[in-house]
Structure 1
Amino acid sequence: MVNFDYQTPTRLIFGRGVVSEKLASVMNQYGKRVLITYGGGSIKRTAPGHDKSLYDLVKDTLTDKQVFELGGIQPNPKFNPSVLDGVRMCQDNDIDVILAVGGGSVLDCTKAIAGVAGTLKTKVTDNVEEAWDIVCGRKPTTAAVPIVDIITMAATGSEYDMGGVISRTETNDKLAYFSKLVFPAVSFIDPTYTFTLPVKQTLAGVSDCINHIMESYFCGDHIDMNDAFMEGAVKSLVKNVKIVLEDPQNYNARAEIFYATTLGCNGIYCLGNSPSGWPMHAMEHALSAYYDITHGEGLAIVTPRWMKHILDHSTGELHDQVVERIEKFGKNVFGAENAEASIKAIHDFYRNIGIPMTLPEVGIDDSRLAEMAKHVADNEGLDKAWAPLLEQDILEIFKACMK
């Protein structure tokens, strides 16, 4: 069991009706000038069981504040324009707190806005490259605007961690941004706001969370407590997503999914484990950076191909570890008998709930596979992952994803 130093400063307020009950008192702690960030407008529709839209509820709650808005944040949030626009708004309006309302992409983008706005000493319009240096970690985040969020999609776990992923379209970069200063101060989680999520988003969110857990599960040093915690979380997701597909407004199933996803990326599932290198995410980031596909779908496609590749190509002690990890995961989550059956089980689960499982199904042909493999090999450090991958390995995995 490896050493760890763990602290999560985020306050979680979870359950039915918590936004209307507690948002006002929380926001009163953070000043008068509020920037609201959100995505494509789903928060302006009234969800079942609510008498007004989430957007209207927020605006009504903040009537005593000076409110500014940044809408239109896209999935796979973009450095340009969204992060840059948000930083400019913070700088120009002396923002006290950012309220992120929406899914994980909105919150990821908000974290980058908060960190760059707090750190950058010059106007962002005059210093775009320094802003990017902060996002990609070449320069440290030294301060951040406080963040409160109302998360409306169970997926990334951004509401309970210190990171996000930002895309820079012009360079095909999709990079993780991390800073302890951008943990949300408070996260509101009301599962009823997921009742009307499109099926595609529900499934992609579940896939994203399962993969967060698997990135932590497949490692060298691990402990039994963590294995049981992670296996139980995936079993809950597998069970409850099937319930939600039949009954989208089943509160308990939605709540269990949200609970699992909230914990999925903040490290609590793997305290004491050694790192894995997060290879599946690293490869998927290239897919969604080059083609702007849905992140959770890309992960579902990559996952069983990565498992099969490391099973077939690892040797010696690492091979024994790979077999043990795959067999244990598959047996305890799906009842699979061996490693090959475990890989088939995760593939078939995704296929059977309706996730596309080949790259052509999400609009990716083979014309840029080699280019993406080189990009991953050059930028993601997978040669040092638990099961190391070189450029040729990555390319072979991408090719396996074609069929």
Structure 2
Amino acid sequence: MNNFNFYSPTEFVFGKDRENECGTYVKKFGGSKVLIHYGGNSAKKSGLLDRVKKSLENSGIAYCELGGVQPNPRDGLVYKGIELCRKENIDFILAVGGGSVIDSSKAIAAGVPYDGDFWDFYSGKRIEKALPVGTVLTIAAAGSEGSGDSVITKEDGMFKRGAGSDALRPKFSVMNPELTQTLPAYQTACGATDIMAHVFERYFTNTTEVEITDRLCEAVLMTMVKETPRVIADPNNYEARANIMWAGMVAHNNIVGVGREQDWNSHGIEHELSALYDCAHGAGLAVIMPAWMEFVYKHNIMRFCQMAVRVFGCNMDFENPENTAIAGIKAFRRFLHDIGMPINFAELGAKEEDIPALTEKLGLGDGKTGGFVHLSSEDVSQIYKIAAKATL
């Protein structure tokens, strides 16, 4: 196990009706005037936004609003949010929504106290300070409610890039599983896929002797394999929703990734898909992750065997372990198909002829990327080609 620091200061406020306590927690963490940041009309129609406002009012906290966050959140709205916060002397940002809303909120939070262009942070500059952020989570997926990460799409060129800093970790996150019960099955499945991908990016590592985090990763993955079909079959299954919501946070606050080298190639490769086609991030990951696995599994066949046996219950072929590794990858792709996810370019709405453009936009040039296996531009192109033609 490698040396590590782990800092996760977020207070998680979990359970039914907890959104009614937002005002208490904003006040606890020093907020006096809040920007409520949200997406479309669902937060309004469901009454969630009104409940949040009432809670703030009951605590004597002023607020203004900025809606309109899209999936794959755009830099244009971030700039608008930064300007609004400065004009209104906002000192706390409350994200009401899923990962896109939270990511946009974090970008605004980083941009307000910064003299330059917030996009500098998504081009490699370190984030030193940010306004405090709180969240009211409505989709179990990105894990942004517990992480210091944010991903934003630059509209000029449609580049999707990430930034990360402990300064962006939410001060508190309200997690009421009931708020996810109205999600369409497709969005639920996309979220589940994203959660699993966050774990796999940490699970496939070159670091040895990491049994504790291996087992934690496997526990989250097995939970998703069990609970996702249950919520697809019964969207109102509160207990299954609760397990998935907590799994999403655990998957990405890095408790399952400490002390080990991580990869994140699949996320980088997928980002170009969702930037170009504006598809759901989880759907893109469902296409890319198994294709990446097929391309790299020979680098460490026994780690893929471990995944196959422990997570998907495959039988271990001791005479030919490669059979077990391949069986595990197939089991993962079958699981994704069964919960309603696309498994190839055609099902996603992507085009094979766009592979050169997708590869170029990743920006590797003659360089390489990744932790588990270092990939060149040609390697990435091959992964896209596998993804384009994938079958069960």
Measured after TM superposition, the shift of residue 253 of structure 1 is 0.3
User: Match of 2:385?
Assistant: 399
Matched, 1:325 2:309: no
Q: 1:116 aligns with which of 111, 114, 118?
A: 111
Q: Is the 8 A contact 1:377 1:394 kept in 2?
A: no
User: Match of 1:355?
Assistant: 341
1:177 is paired with a residue of what secondary structure?
Answer: strand
Measured after TM superposition, the shift of residue 173 of structure 1 is 1.2
User: Match of 1:78?
Assistant: 74
CA distance in 2, matches of 1:379, 1:118: 34
Measured after TM superposition, the shift of residue 275 of structure 1 is 2.5
User: Match of 1:62?
Assistant: 56
Map 1:79-228; keep pairs closer than 5 Å.
79-80=75-76, 82-120=77-115, 130-138=117-125, 140-222=126-208, 223-228=210-215
1:67 is paired with a residue of what secondary structure?
Answer: strand
CA distance in 1, matches of 2:370, 2:337: 31
CA distance in 1, matches of 2:307, 2:222: 10
Measured after TM superposition, the shift of residue 393 of structure 1 is 1.0
Work out the percentage of aligned pairs sharing the same amino acid.
Answer: 36
- Displaced runs of 4 or more, over 3 A: 379-384
User: Match of 1:43?
Assistant: 43
Measured after TM superposition, the shift of residue 45 of structure 1 is 2.6
Measured after TM superposition, the shift of residue 187 of structure 1 is 0.6
Residues 13-58 of structure 1 deviation map (CA, whole Å, 9 limit, x = unaligned): 11112222x3221122333311100001211233xxxxxx111101
Measured after TM superposition, the shift of residue 384 of structure 1 is 4.9
- Farther-moved stretch of structure 1 (301-310 vs 379-388): 379-388
Q: TM-score, normalised by structure 2?
A: 0.93
1:76 is paired with a residue of what secondary structure?
Answer: coil
Map 1:253-272; keep pairs closer than 5 Å.
253-272=240-259
- Equivalences, count: 377
CA distance in 2, matches of 1:354, 1:376: 28
Residues 341-388 of structure 1 deviation map (CA, whole Å, 9 limit, x = unaligned): 011000100011111111122221122211211222528964453212
CA distance in 1, matches of 2:7, 2:155: 34
Measured after TM superposition, the shift of residue 257 of structure 1 is 0.3
Measured after TM superposition, the shift of residue 217 of structure 1 is 0.3
CA distance in 1, matches of 2:240, 2:367: 37
Residues 87-125 of structure 1 deviation map (CA, whole Å, 9 limit, x = unaligned): 0111111101111100010000000000011222xxxxx
Residues 278-316 of structure 1 deviation map (CA, whole Å, 9 limit, x = unaligned): 1100100111111111100000101111111113xx5xx
Map 1:226-305; keep pairs closer than 5 Å.
226-276=213-263, 278-305=264-291
Unaligned runs of 5+ in 2: 316-323
CA distance in 1, matches of 2:293, 2:118: 37
CA distance in 1, matches of 2:211, 2:194: 23
1:62 is paired with a residue of what secondary structure?
Answer: helix
Cα 1:28/1:383, change in 2 over 3 Å:
closer
CA distance in 1, matches of 2:286, 2:63: 39
Residues 146-203 of structure 1 deviation map (CA, whole Å, 9 limit, x = unaligned): 1111011100100001011000021231111112211111111000000111111100
Q: Is the 8 A contact 1:37 1:70 kept in 2?
A: yes
Residues 255-291 of structure 1 deviation map (CA, whole Å, 9 limit, x = unaligned): 0001110111121002221222x11001001111111
Q: Is the 8 A contact 1:282 1:380 kept in 2?
A: no
Q: Is the 8 A contact 1:118 1:142 kept in 2?
A: no
Cα 1:40/1:360, change in 2 over 3 Å:
same
Q: Is the 8 A contact 2:265 2:369 kept in 1?
A: no
- Farther-moved stretch of structure 1 (172-181 vs 231-240): 172-181
Give the partner amino acid of 1:54.
L
Q: Is the 8 A contact 2:203 2:262 kept in 1?
A: no
Root mean square deviation of aligned Cα: 1.6
